[in-house]
Each structure stands twice: as C-alpha cells, then as structure tokens.
Structure 1
Amino acid sequence: MEMSELRALLTPAGLELLDAVGTVGSSADVARAVSRLRAAGHSPDLVSAVVGQAHLRSKASAKFGPFAGRMLFTRAGLEQATRLGVAARHAQRIRSAGFTAVADLGCGIGGDALAFTGAGLDVLAVDADEVTAAIAAYNLAPFGDGAVVRHDTAEDAFETMPAADDRAIWMDPARRTSGHGETRRVSADDYSPSLDWAFDVARRVSTGIKLGPAHDRDALPADAESQWVSADGSVVELVVWSGALAREGVRRAALVIRDDRSHELTAPADAVDEPVRELGAFLHEPDGAVIRARLIGDVARSLDAGMLDEHIAYLTSDSALTSPFVQSFRVRETMPANPKAISTALKAHGIGRLEIKKRGVDVDPAAFRKKLTLRGDQEATLILARIGDRRVAILADRVSAAS
C-alpha cells in the first residue's frame, strides 16, 4: 500500500466502503471486487486500497482471529507479524518480569504491540516506514494513551528515550527488503536494525529480539536465553531474551503451543542425545521447536526412548509413553521402502486413507502416494526414513497426544 492509497482509505467513506466489501479471499474474488467498485465510480487509489485490505484481512484471520476484521495491513507487515496468541505469551513474560512498559522498536503493523497493550503494558511503538507506522497507529488507536506510535528508526528512538527501569525493549528486525507488497528475504547481515546493534542493546537493557527459527545458532549471544516457538505444529520464531527477561539458568527453550494450550521444555544448554537403538513398538517425532533447540535428548529420556538413527530426528521406544513435545506412533510393521511391498501391506490391512511422513529420504510424498494401492476403510500413517544405510517404510498408527 502506498501513501496515496492509505490517504484515500483513511476517510469515513473509505473505511465504510472497506467494511461493506467484506471478505475477499481468492484471486477471482479480488478481480470481481475491483470491477464492481470501479464500475461504481470509485477512484483507482481507493479501489486498490479497499480491495487489497479486504484480501489481507481474509489472510490475516489465521494470525489475528476476529481482530483481523478491524485491522489494516501491508503484505510484508502481515508476513512478518507475530501470531496474536504467541505475542500474548511474550507480553505475559514481560509483565511477569516486573515491567510496566515496553518500547517496540520496529513495530511493523503493530501485531506485538496489540498484545502488549492488551496485557496492560504502556507501549511506545516505532517503525521507520511512514506507511507502516500510520497503519500501526490505526491498529492501536482503540487503546488510546496506552500506545504511542512514532515514525522513527529503532536506533534514533532508542538513543532519545529517557532511561527507565520499568521499561523493556522488544525488537522484530526487518528480515525482508523494504516495501509494502512483494518483498524478498535478506541475509542476517542486512536486517534492519542490524543484529550487531540489536544484540548490543540487549547487553545493556532487558530485551526480547524476534528472529526467524532457522537463524544461525552459532551467531546467538552465549549469555542470553534462546527460545524456539512452535504453533500448531509449525516452528514460527526464535526469540532471544536478555537481562531480566531471560530466566536464570535457562539458555535453551522450546515452547510448544497447540490450540490454547502451551508446554515448554527448558535447559541450561543443548541436551546430549540418547544412543541409537533398534526400532521398538513406538516411534516418536519431536516437535520442530524441540529439534531447533537441540533438546531431543531430554525428551528421549522422558520417554525411555533412544534415537532411531544418529542423523535422523526420530525417537523409538517400547514404553507406551508420549508427551506434548512429540507426535507418537504405534508401529504395525516395517518393510522395504518400495511401492510394491508397501502396497501389499496396505491391502492386507484394508487401508484406504494414508498419511505419509518422511525424514532422511529424498521422496515427494504426493508423487509417492500415486504409486500405492489404497483400498479399504482403515487409516494409518506411513513413515519413510533412513536407518543407517537402509531406506525403511514403517506402517504405524497415531497415538493420542499428551495434554
């Protein structure tokens, strides 16, 4: 969205038209909405802004739920925005550490700041892009004086802020090229603000820095807490916590969120893996946050499990235990990883619905499925994995997740 489009939208008539358009989900919906509004005589800037926002609101519901229906976005801002449920947990950490205010340096469209203000924190939200800062101001307007938005760089805002013991710092450095539409990822050396500057701030002030979950672990500060977060099965972010926001004795953490429930595994360092053992009665797939945090060994010990292969993040055990940090499967049988052998097993079990998972093998599950014979009313999971120098197919059933 360009400033001309934003100005056209931020009028009573523009916002009323946006609410009237409703959901614009598919590309076909976009084309129809544009044609309808242009035929009604609306200006090109207003049509572009209204339809673009209606489309982004539809996509944003996955991150912001019903709040998306009253927010404004840029495409780039939505892509980088924190899910509201995750941001709420960050806000609670800041509150629990005794802070009453937070400076959100690089606030984007205001996703994190929404959670901070909702938790009762006073927020200074700063963004270097004028359009993005204006959108953040709109999104945070319902909170009144509890949220102040400033168009400024993170560096200048930090240097001009008065010292305050009750204020934490939050940063979500831009990891994409500048712009409001199509953008591309940049290397860590080109983040804005720079990571060198952000980590220097974190050494001086209690800070949370949001990064991509695949960030180079060797480049993380050794004296900070690194927390990987997964939401509903996807690893969504890594947060580096410093000062009073870092928990004593914790350097590695995996926060696993499913629906409205969360579970966390913490440790003072990377966990030592358990030894490799033969495939047992159960197979366990660690959550991605556990894998990123390198806490697989701690999970294995809690399940009386071992590694299936030293290079593959699967665990195996004979004990009927599971945990919130894994997906567990009861093994039916194993066979060579070729379609003929697998189809024979599927036919014998009457399996017509099949979930296919893989790790350590170069297989396209969708293409592999077409080679299989699926017939029957039973369901199962097929796990394709490499064990040593063998490619193995494991037919299994999901075990209900631990709560």
Structure 2
Amino acid sequence: MDAAALTQLLSPEGWALLGALPPYDERLALVLSERLRSEGVAPDLVAAALTQSRLRSAGRAKFDDFADGMLFTQAGLEQATRFSVAARHAQRYAAAGCTTVADLTCGIGGDSMALAALGLGVVAIDSDELTAALATVNLRHFPEAEVRHGDGLTTDLSGVDGLFADPARRTTAGRRAHDPAAYSPPLDAVLALREKVPALGVKVGPGIPHAALPEDAETQWVSVDRDVVEAGLWFGPLAPEGPGRGALVLRGTRATAVREPADGLPEVDAGAPATYLYEPDGAVIRAGLVAMVAAEVQGRLLDRTIAYVTADHLVPTPLATAYRVLDVMPFGLKRLRTALRERGVGRVTIKKRGTAVVPEQLRRQLDLRGDAEATVVLTRVRGAQQVLLVEPAGEEP
C-alpha cells in the first residue's frame, strides 16, 4: 500500500466499498474485481480495496473480529503481535501500575490497541509515515491513544512510565535477522532506554541465543497452539519475579506459564524409550526447560542433547504432546519400510531431532501404499540413531 491507496480507502467512497465487500475468497477475487470495474469503480480503488479485504481475511488469525475494521500492510501484518499475546503484554503493564506506555515501534498498532483496551494511556510511535497513518486508523476507537510519526528512540518521554518495543527483524533482503544487532532499531539501542524508564518490554525473535539475553531480563518464550511466535524481554517492574527464563504456552483459551526454578533445573537421566514419548512445546524447548517436563511426567531424556522425554506412564501436561510408543528400531530404510507396510501405512508424519535425514526425501524412499496413518520419530537414543513408531496418546482411564 502507498499513500495514494490509503487516501482512496479513507475517502467516503473507499471506506463504504471496503465495508460492503463480501468475505474474501481468492477464487472469486478476479470476478469481483471485473464486476466492480464494470460498475464504474476506479481500478486503483478496486485494487486497494481487494488487497485490504485479503489482508483483513488473513488478519483474523491474529486479530479475530478486530481485523474487520483494521487496515494492514503485508509487512505490518506479518510482524504484528497476535492480539491474544498482546493482551498478555498489556496485562504486565497494568499489573506493574503503569499509566502511560510508549509503544516505540508501533507498526500497525496491534500492541497499542491491547494497551489502550485496558484503559492505559498510549503513545504509539512509528518511523514510517504510512505505517503511522495506518496505526492512527486502527486506534481510532481509543481516545487513550496518541499516534506520532517519528523516531521512538528519541521521542519525548515526558509523562511516560512504561516502554514497549518490537524492533523489525528482517534484513533489507527480506531475510529474518537473528542477530539482535541487526534489528531495526538495534536491540542494544532499545535496551539503553531502561535507564530512563525501567519498565521496559521488548519483543524479540524466538531464535535469540541465550548468550544474547541481558542478565537483568525476564525472558519468556511464547507459543500459540504449538507455534512459537516470540520471546519477550521484560525489565524492572514488568518482571516482578526478577531475571530468569520462562515459557508461556497458549492453547485455545488455556494459558500455562512455567519458569526456571530459583534453585536450578532438576537433574534428569537419559535412557531407553519407555511406553510414552513426550514432545515438549517449542516455547519450553527454546527456554531450555525440557528437564521440567521430564520431572513433571517422572520421565527421562532419550538423549541428553535431544528434547524428547520418555516415561512409563501417561501424565497429561500442557507443556508437551504425548505419544504412545508402538515400536522402536535402529534406523534403516528397509526395516522401516517393512514395518510400515506390515501396518498398512500409506500416510506418514515424520518428526526428527538430532538426525540429518530429510523428511521429504525419506517419504519418497519409503514409497508407502495403504489406508492407515502413522507418526515416525527419527532421533538419537543415548547417542545411537533410532526410529520410534508412535501414535497420539489420550488420557489413561
């Protein structure tokens, strides 16, 4: 989207057209475009409205019904925080007693919306003029929010008692930036602001290395329905339990938080596969808390370097997905193919950790035919390459 497209959409005609469009359907978009043009709607406006309709449809995954009244860019939508996660961010500021939060890199305004929804004053800032304009539209229902076009690092922080930043994490070539120094703005520049306002929160990529974590931060990795979406660095009153690593697991309406114990992680042995296999949630793995899953299910690791846990009994936990182990064998293509064909397996899900096997290549080599489905886990067991055939485990009676 450019400024001209935004101007068209914000005109009475454009806003009415956007509101009147049916739910977006890629298969019907061309037909709808041609019909609108034949009715005399300007081609540029048709293109802008259909683009927004498509982005709103995609935006429902992050913003639910709120997306139907928002404006997006593709990049803005990709970086925007899911509203369910943004609400958790906002709750930290409210619990810390903050009254006015500066969202230093507000983007399209997702986190600012969550903050304002709790009645907090918000100063939303973005260095891109068009993006700031979109945030103004998206925050129009919140009188608590002020949008500024400018540099969040140098903005006037008078009256602000909380800061939030979500630095851009893509390079100019469009690739993800894993080095915090390559963020825009760089992570160190954002962290320097905690000397002015101690209540600082920073959303960072979930792949941030532990060595790059500030010692005074509470770092919390977040997953939504098994998808690891971010890590958050929280400082000062936003981290009431002090520095440390933790995970927040969101599945549906259920939220489970776990944090590294003050006295350290429990010691966990490694051993042969038992009756059940547990695959810890990605946020738990990123936080380095797999040992806590093993302790909870009274299990052990398959290998000290691999994030799989095995146990004799089924202990339902939101921190891991449980499977029943059906068979265990050394890795070998012929033996695995035979085992799957004996079970009539034609469709296979392949999971791997600690092995160089390429799942799609293996799937072709297996050349399976049948009606049954199976899950194959390729991993190391005490240093040796093994294959586990598993199935999802329900709760024991």
Whether the TM-score (by the shorter chain) exceeds 0.5 is yes
Q: Residue 47 and residue 6 in structure 1: after superposition, are their counterparts in 2 closer, same or farther (change >3 A)? A: same
- Give the match's secondary structure for 1:124: strand
- 8 Å CA contact 1:24, 1:54 repeated in 2: yes
Q: Is the contact between residue 380 and residue 398 of structure 1 (CA under 8 Å) also seen in structure 2?
A: no
Q: Do structure 1's residue 359 and structure 2's residue 357 form an aligned pair? A: no
Q: Is the 8 A contact 1:284 1:315 kept in 2?
A: yes
Is the 8 Å Cα contact of residues 266 and 295 (structure 2) preserved in structure 1?
no
Q: 1:39 to 1:127 in 2, by over 3 A?
A: same
The 1:42/1:352 distance shift into structure 2, 3 A limit, reads same
Q: 2:71 maps to which residue? A: 72
Give the 5 Å matches for 1:360-375.
Answer: 360-370=354-364, 371-375=366-370
Are the structure 2 counterparts of residues 376 and 74 from structure 1 closer, same or farther at C-alpha, using a change threshold of 3 Å?
closer
- Report if aligned partners of 2:347, 2:368 keep a CA contact under 8 Å in 1: no
Structure 1 25/108 Cα, relative in aligned 2: closer, same or farther at 3 Å?
A: farther
1:212-251 maps to which residues of 2 (within 5 A)? 212-251=205-244
Distance in 2, Cα, partners of 1:100 & 1:320: 46
1:161 aligns with 2:154: no
| 1:154-233 to 2 correspondences below 5 Å | 154-157=152-155, 160-164=156-160, 167-176=161-170, 183-186=174-177, 187-204=179-196, 205-233=198-226
Rate the CA distance shift 1:82–1:361 in 2: closer, same or farther, 3 A: same
1:30/1:360 CA distance change after superposition, 3 Å: farther
Q: Deviations over 1:194-226 (max 9, x none)?
A: 211211113442011001100132121101100
C-alpha distance in 2 between matches for 1:273 and 1:381? 29
- Which of 231, 245, 255 aligns to 2:248? It is 255
1:307 aligns with 2:271: no
Aligned-partner residue type, residue 158 of structure 2: P
What is the match of residue 384 of structure 1? Answer: 378
Shift of 1:279: 1.5
Match of 1:51 in 2: 50
- What secondary structure does 1:252 align onto? strand
Q: Deviation at 1:263?
A: 0.3
* Structure 1 match to 2:13: 13
Q: Partner residue of 1:338?
A: 332
Superposition CA RMSD, Å: 2.4
Deviation at 1:397, TM superposition (A): 2.0
Residue 189 (structure 1) shift: 2.2
1:7-46 matches, cutoff 5 A: 7-26=7-26, 29-46=28-45
CA contact (8 A) 1:25 1:59 kept: no
Deviation at 1:384, TM superposition (A): 1.6
**Alpha-carbon distance in structure 2 between the residues aligned to 1:400 and 1:172:** 39
Distance 2:58 2:267 in 1: 40
Which SS does the other structure have where 2:314 is aligned? Answer: coil
The answer to whether the aligner puts 1:275 opposite 2:273 as a matched pair is: no
Q: 1: distance between equivalents of 2:367 and 2:360?
A: 11
**Which residue identity lines up with residue 350 of structure 2 in the other structure?**
I
Indicate whether 1:319 and 2:319 are aligned.
Answer: no
2: CA distance, partners of 1:184 / 1:344: 41
Cα distance, 1:352 vs. partner? 5.1
Asked whether the 8 Å contact 1:212–1:238 carries over to 2, the reply is: yes
Per-residue CA distance 1:159-195 (angstroms, 9 max, x = gap): x12145xx311111122357xxx94434532322221
Percent identical: 43
The reply on whether 1:139 has 2:154 as its aligned counterpart is no
- Contact kept, 8 Å, 1:336 with 1:392, in 2: the verdict is yes
Determine the structure 1 residue equivalent to 2:85: 86
Separation of aligned partners in 2, 1:58 and 1:123: 27
Q: CA deviation at 1:388?
A: 4.5
Aligned partners of 1:76, 1:272: CA distance in 2, in Å? 42
How far residue 389 of structure 1 moved from its aligned partner, in angstroms, is: 4.8
Number of residues of Structure 1 aligned to a counterpart in Structure 2: 392
Describe the superposition over 1:80-125 as per-residue Cα deviations: whole angstroms up to 9, x where unpaired.
0001111111111221222233111111001111111122222111
Unaligned stretches of 5+ in structure 1? Answer: none
2: distance between equivalents of 1:32 and 1:40? 12
Deviation at 1:147, TM superposition (A): 1.4
Q: State how far apart, in whole Å, the 2-side matches of 1:52 and 1:397 are.
A: 42
CA-to-partner distance for each residue in 1:21-63, whole Å, 9 max, x for gaps? 333343x544444444444443343233212111111111111
User: Which residue identity lines up with residue 375 of structure 1 in the other structure?
Assistant: G
Shift of 1:372: 4.5
The CA deviation at 1:301 is: 1.4
Letter in 2 for 1:54: S
Q: Structure 1 residue 390: deviation in Å?
A: 3.1
Kept in 2: contact 1:252–1:268 (CA 8 A): no
Q: Could you tell me how far apart the structure 1 residues matched to 2:166 and 2:217 are?
A: 16
- 1:109 and 1:135 in contact (8 A); partners too: yes
What SS does the aligned partner of 1:156 have? Answer: coil
